[in-house]
Amino acid sequence: MSFNIALTGLSAVNEQLNTIGNNIANSGTVGFKSSRTDFGSLYAETQAMGVEVIGTTQSISQGGALTTTNRNLDLAISGGGFFVTRASNGDVAYTRAGMFGTDKDSYLTNSLGQRLQGYPTDAAGNLQTGVIGDLQMKAGGLPAKATDELSFVANLDANQAVPAVAFDPQVADSYNSTYTTKVFDSQGKEHTLTQYFAKTADNSWDAHYYVDGTAIAASPQALSFNTDGSLAAPIGPVALAATLGGGVDPLNIQLDYSGTSQYGSQFNVTGNRATGYAAGEQTGMSVEKDGKVYASFSNGERLLQGQVILASFVNPEGLKNISGTAWTETAASGVALVGAPGVGQLGSLSAGALESSNVDLTQQLVGLMEGQRNYQANTQVISTNKELTQVLFNAL
């Protein structure tokens, strides 16, 4: 009986050593989670029968250290959650290994060709939150976009006096302040929109508009302010139109003065945001900590391409392991709860970094020595049993 018990011990320790060996071998594998062999005693009613391996437990919830790689599509999760990937056959897997790249069709994929899942964007670049699909970078350059909106926030100096001469952009004494904004036409060519502000009375100003030095309105736009210095009128955007020539569309800009004030301090522009840009070629991509993926272009613009999603589980230890770095959903794990990084229990993303294996080499080496002693002890039991049996045969 002791011989058979020792054999069960040898078999169990052998599986433990295999697990430890696998942990040590994967100490450098990105996103790897270490495993532990669990033992249980064997009994036949009250008779001890030895030991058996009752399972292998992975330390899924224990994160590894983040290491910097400076590669844009190397992603690490700082906190809870898993990346979601989909294979060509539709199988969904969850992983912490964030080594991603692009395939020939510009889809974001891992080394196995599985596509990273997220919220895509529509043709206008709007994020389709709630629609989960393959993330794909849009190929090609960024076409030019004409300026159609300008948000302008400034303070007009209430201490200024009304100019003594009629307005003339060539005469500096005929206006109180001026500001020039760069705008773009339908072909992406640059133009200048210059605003001249001339005080007409207390709390009243005129704004004169010139594009490339040519007036674009027959009469100026009146600006009026309340006694506390806040803007009274215009309420809503001011429509500006200019015919540019040169084979481009007319320039139509909605100019918004919301937030503009008139206080007794110097003229100061605190907001000047205009839409529009020249054409540009794609120069790279980046991923923000909230998972939003942007393509960068040579004209300085960025275009949203989608948003990486993460998945969490009520019981992550119940996930089914399909490799050291990937798992699938089971009834024990519960249904995947997906969302944007940084929301709820989902961690944020760190671009240009990877999560290292969570294997503790010191702990594994200690376990290796313990397993070796256990193996030797069980071997000694077998050797002793053999000697006792031989003594018994000799006595007969």
Q: What angle do CA 74, 327, 360 make, to 5 degrees?
A: 70
When pLDDT is averaged across residues 98-116 and rounded to a whole number, the result is 94
Query: Where residue 221 falls among pLDDT bands split at 50, 70, 90?
Result: very high
Query: Which of the residue ranges 187-191, 244-248, 326-330 would you say has the lowest mean pLDDT?
Result: 244-248
pTM of the model: 0.77
Q: What is the model's pLDDT at position 269?
A: 97
The answer as to whether 19 is a domain residue is: yes
- Asked if pLDDT for residue 202 goes beyond 80, the answer is yes
Query: Where residue 13 falls among pLDDT bands split at 50, 70, 90?
Result: confident
**Is residue 203 domain-shared with residue 269, that is, in the same domain?**
yes
- Contact (Cβ atoms closer than 8 angstroms) between residue 312 and residue 318: no
**Is residue 161 domain-shared with residue 269, that is, in the same domain?**
yes
The CATH number for 156's domain is 2.60.98.20
The answer as to whether 285 is a domain residue is: no
When pLDDT is averaged across residues 304-319 and rounded to a whole number, the result is 94
When pLDDT is averaged across residues 243-250 and rounded to a whole number, the result is 91
**Is residue 128 domain-shared with residue 225, that is, in the same domain?**
no
The answer as to whether 366 is a domain residue is: yes
Query: Which of the residue ranges 210-224, 297-311, 370-384 would you say has the lowest mean pLDDT?
Result: 370-384
- Asked if pLDDT for residue 3 goes beyond 80, the answer is no
Query: Which of the residue ranges 42-46, 121-125, 241-245 would you say has the lowest mean pLDDT?
Result: 42-46
The answer as to whether 304 is a domain residue is: yes
Among 134, 48, 124, 128, which residue's Cα sits nearest to residue 88?
A: 134
- Contact (Cβ atoms closer than 8 angstroms) between residue 313 and residue 319: yes
Residue with tokens 């540019």: 244
CB atoms within 10 A of CB 85: 23
HSE-up of 65 (CA within 13 Å, CB side)?
7
**Is residue 14 domain-shared with residue 47, that is, in the same domain?**
yes
Question: Considering its fold, how many domains does the chain have in total?
Answer: 3
**Is residue 253 domain-shared with residue 163, that is, in the same domain?**
yes
DSSP code per residue over 213-259: TEE--SSPEEEEE-TTSBEEE--SPEEEEE---TT-PPEEEEEE-TT
When pLDDT is averaged across residues 262-269 and rounded to a whole number, the result is 97
**Is residue 200 domain-shared with residue 225, that is, in the same domain?**
yes
When pLDDT is averaged across residues 62-86 and rounded to a whole number, the result is 94
Q: Which of 147-161, 238-252, 360-374 has the highest mean pLDDT?
A: 147-161
Distance CA 179, CA 161 (A): 19
- Asked if pLDDT for residue 396 goes beyond 70, the answer is no
Range of the domain at 250: 149-274
The answer as to whether 164 is a domain residue is: yes
- Asked if pLDDT for residue 392 goes beyond 70, the answer is no
Q: What is the model's pLDDT at position 1?
A: 58
| Average pLDDT for the chain | 91
Q: What angle do helix axes 361-395 and 2-25 make, rounded to 10 degrees?
A: 160
Burial class of 28 by CB neighbour count within 10 A (0 to 12, 13 to 18, 19+):
exposed
- Asked if pLDDT for residue 220 goes beyond 70, the answer is yes
Q: What is the model's pLDDT at position 222?
A: 96
